[in-house]
Structure 1
Amino acid sequence: MKVLHLVPSIAAVRGGTSIAVIEMVKSLRAIGIDAEIVTTNDNGKTLLDVPLHRLIDYEVEGEKVPVRFFPRFSPPIHAMREFAFSGSLTIWLWQHLRDYDLMHVHAIFSYPATIAMTIARQQNIPYVNSPHGLLCQWSLQQGAQKKHIYLNLLEKANLFGAKAIHVTAMQEQVEIELLGWSLKTIVRPLGLQIPPAIADAREQLHRMLDIPSQVPIMLFLSRIHPKKGLDYLLPALGKLRDRHFAFVLAGSGDPEYEAALEQLLQAHHLGDRTYKLGFVTGIKKNICLQGSDLYVLTSHSENFGVSVLEALAAGTPVLITKGVALAELVRSQQLGWVVDLEIDAIAAAIAQSLDQPQVNQQIGDRAAKYIAEHYTWNKIAVNLQQLYI
């Protein structure tokens, strides 16, 4: 079976979706599906330095995946650049989409995704769409008027034309059902490649940050964006500043928003205990995940939350808000804390975690075992194969 995965960007700066698509294709190829990626050379404010128009073996952390890149039109206007227009991608899709048995489209409200589904409908090529949270209520409320027009003029027909709408959690399925469209949604979670355990990760992280070994570390590791609820998390941490802890902020985002967060850190007297690492990958990322005492993600909305899964796989308890789609998993399996997006609730849960280090260890051990049994990419790939047939 030959499957084409289309995604507007696979740049790491675009966050979890880009990473998930790469891992998805790797795992599908491992079980015998001829899967490829087609995308643009988008890299946020810049462009990836990659060969264009031809299939290449694109290397990510030592592993290769077949990718075909096309140039993204790059005007200085932010909104147009984010739309990732690509004329040559359009032409290629029109000429070659028939070479594939099925297309899996990742995202909506983006030129590559919209034009790909439109061409597939015209050529009667089956396709699956993964909206990756873009049909959830919080996302639809951002730029609501423009999205309403876009949905009704273009995307609604594409969504109804899909073989299935692939959602990654029951919570995302429920939110899509609120639209009242009766779309055919099928739940298939994302997975992860579990990195090897680092025996002294906690000691390494404390040494790396020059933090005394007895000081617990709270970790936020995600894209820095207003969606992530840091304007709730930082005041919550500020309420606990008489307690011993360090806060690691690992991620990158818009410079203006990062500057606003810096002001928030200072306002809540957290500057002397906050360690800003920027975007981290590889061994440094694994040390952060495995060496921290609590992973925190206080998002307004997450259609899945790959970083939460990574923390659990690393044996680190998590504190997440109800808008994170993995909340039910964390609650039902007792893998951490699930709270309202409310400052006092977040602060109370963090305080509870600080008060029970031995319980945290038990939670972490249980989490690592559960994720290894249920959420590796090899297991997820088989589920996706059944979706394609």
Structure 2
Amino acid sequence: KIIHYIPSIDRTAGGTSTYMQVLAKGLGELAEVHIITHASENPLAMENCTVHYVPEYNPFKGAWRKRVTEMMEVVKPDIVHVNCCWMPACAAVQHIAQKHGYKVVLTPHGMLEPWIIKRHYWTRKVPALLLYQKAAVRKADCIQSTAESEGDNLLKLGYNSNIKVVKLGIDADGIEMKKSWKKTRQILFLSRVHVKKGINFLIEAAAVLRSELQGYKILVAGEGDADYVAEMKRMIEDNGLQDIVQLVGGVYGDEKWRLFQTSDFFVLPTHSENFGLVIAESLASGTPVITTVGTPWHDLNDTNSGAWIEIGTQPLVETLRRFLALSDGELEAMGRNGRKLIEEKYSAHVMAKEMMEVYETLIPNLPNGY
């Protein structure tokens, strides 16, 4: 029996929600899975599990702790798996679980990566580390990282050495691959509109390549903080790129897959990702990917399914110029390589099986046939 706590399974939460959706579906075939989370407007559908909603965390209300404790007493889990960092509720759930003798796995989801820790370091990170976050990482029975690079960075923190790498996966069986690679002159960015994602690099690169991008559309799909969205809109206008770069807001469901399948290639010029599920989704759709060394996707270069480049405007300019010159046939070869990579290395079934193996290292006296 596994309890997962995750702050949100709303579609606007991005990769962490999708991770929970994919993992629950596969893990639910191997164990009894319960998810504790908070209510939201547009939660993703969760299969093969039971979802329990609790009120937003309030450290001054004992009723919240009592509610979570009662859930644990009813389920009697073998493992409590906490997802995400920095939010006090995550540390609170871990504290409750360990106080009652349950083993805890913590998945930071890239939230302990160097770039993230440095952001708002003195005003937000240091107070959180002193109050609860460092203790939570130290006391976790196991830390799950989603890539070797993230695991290395977690070791360098020095808080906890029991780190297991379980790479994320996606349900590729349910994703249709594009049937045509004939150029549409459409380039896609799809993720949260956030300073971490490097959208400014994409806009700056488009300004440099203005003449070569005539007739192209770069779609920036995603939701974000209103002030930052406005800042990116101003940047597009200041560079006179309104005809090329378009902010289209959040896209979900069929519309999301349509954009993947109708784009020549996908670009995520991010500063930092522990995995980047949108990269996997694009590859599964047969659409080549350009992303940065801020992600663990060196496989793109190794398998000729995209490009894994340095962070910044100039590397992106050079790579975009190269991709704009690719033929339909070359894009198809890359796209098919990407789909093959996902099927062989990043399937949801592999992720669920490897996660169970991590749990089993923490559970003593497993019954036969578990």
The normalised TM-score by structure 2 is 0.89
| Alignment-derived partner of residue 272 in structure 2 | 301
Q: What is the correspondence of 1:365-376 to structure 2 with a 5 Å cutoff?
A: 365-376=336-347
**Distance apart, 1:284 and its partner CA:** 1.0
Count of aligned pairs: 353
- 1:249 alignment partner, SS class: strand
CA separation in 2, counterparts of 1:287 and 1:85?
46
**Distance apart, 1:185 and its partner CA:** 0.9
| Alignment-derived partner of residue 227 in structure 1 | 196
Q: Is 1:136 aligned to residue 113 of structure 2?
A: yes
Moved >4 Å (runs of 4+): 83-88, 198-202
- 1:120 alignment partner, SS class: helix
- 2:232 alignment partner, SS class: helix
Q: Is 1:94 aligned to residue 93 of structure 2?
A: no
CA separation in 1, counterparts of 2:186 and 2:344?
27
Aligned CA distance change for structure 1 residues 164 and 351 (closer, same or farther; 3 Å)? same
CA separation in 2, counterparts of 1:87 and 1:297?
43
Q: What is the correspondence of 1:120-199 to structure 2 with a 5 Å cutoff?
A: 120-145=97-122, 146-194=124-172, 195-197=174-176
Cα pair 2:207 2:239 within 8 Å, conserved: yes
| Alignment-derived partner of residue 348 in structure 2 | 377
Cα pair 2:28 2:48 within 8 Å, conserved: no
- 1:241 alignment partner, SS class: coil
CA separation in 2, counterparts of 1:240 and 1:179?
40
- 1:344 alignment partner, SS class: helix
Q: Which amino acid aligns with 1:193?
A: D
Q: Is 1:337 aligned to residue 316 of structure 2?
A: no
Aligned CA distance change for structure 1 residues 347 and 10 (closer, same or farther; 3 Å)? same
- 2:98 alignment partner, SS class: helix
Aligned CA distance change for structure 1 residues 90 and 325 (closer, same or farther; 3 Å)? farther
Q: Which amino acid aligns with 2:176?
A: A
Q: What is the correspondence of 1:253-272 to structure 2 with a 5 Å cutoff?
A: 253-272=224-243
Unaligned 5+ runs, structure 1: 50-57, 74-82, 203-212
Offset from partner CA, 1:253-303 (integer Å, 9 cap, x none): 111111111111112222112343311111111111122111100111111
**Distance apart, 1:88 and its partner CA:** 4.2
**Distance apart, 1:199 and its partner CA:** 5.2
- Which sits farther off after the overlay, 256-265 or 189-198? 189-198
- 1:320 alignment partner, SS class: strand
Cα pair 1:71 1:86 within 8 Å, conserved: no
RMSD value over aligned CA atoms?
2.2
Q: Which amino acid aligns with 1:150?
A: A
CA separation in 2, counterparts of 1:267 and 1:163?
51
Q: Is 1:356 aligned to residue 326 of structure 2?
A: yes
- Which sits farther off after the overlay, 346-355 or 118-127? 118-127
Aligned CA distance change for structure 1 residues 316 and 59 (closer, same or farther; 3 Å)? closer
Seq. identity, %: 28
- Which sits farther off after the overlay, 300-309 or 269-278? 269-278
**Distance apart, 1:334 and its partner CA:** 2.8
CA separation in 1, counterparts of 2:334 and 2:183?
19
CA separation in 2, counterparts of 1:155 and 1:329?
32
Q: 1:346 aligns with which of 296, 316, 327?
A: 316
Cα pair 2:10 2:44 within 8 Å, conserved: no
Q: Which amino acid aligns with 1:35?
A: V
Q: 2:33 aligns with which of 28, 32, 35?
A: 35
CA separation in 1, counterparts of 2:12 and 2:259?
18
Q: 1:287 aligns with which of 247, 252, 258?
A: 258
Q: What is the correspondence of 1:96-111 to structure 2 with a 5 Å cutoff?
A: 96-98=71-73, 99-111=76-88
Cα pair 2:177 2:284 within 8 Å, conserved: no
Q: Is 1:66 aligned to residue 36 of structure 2?
A: no
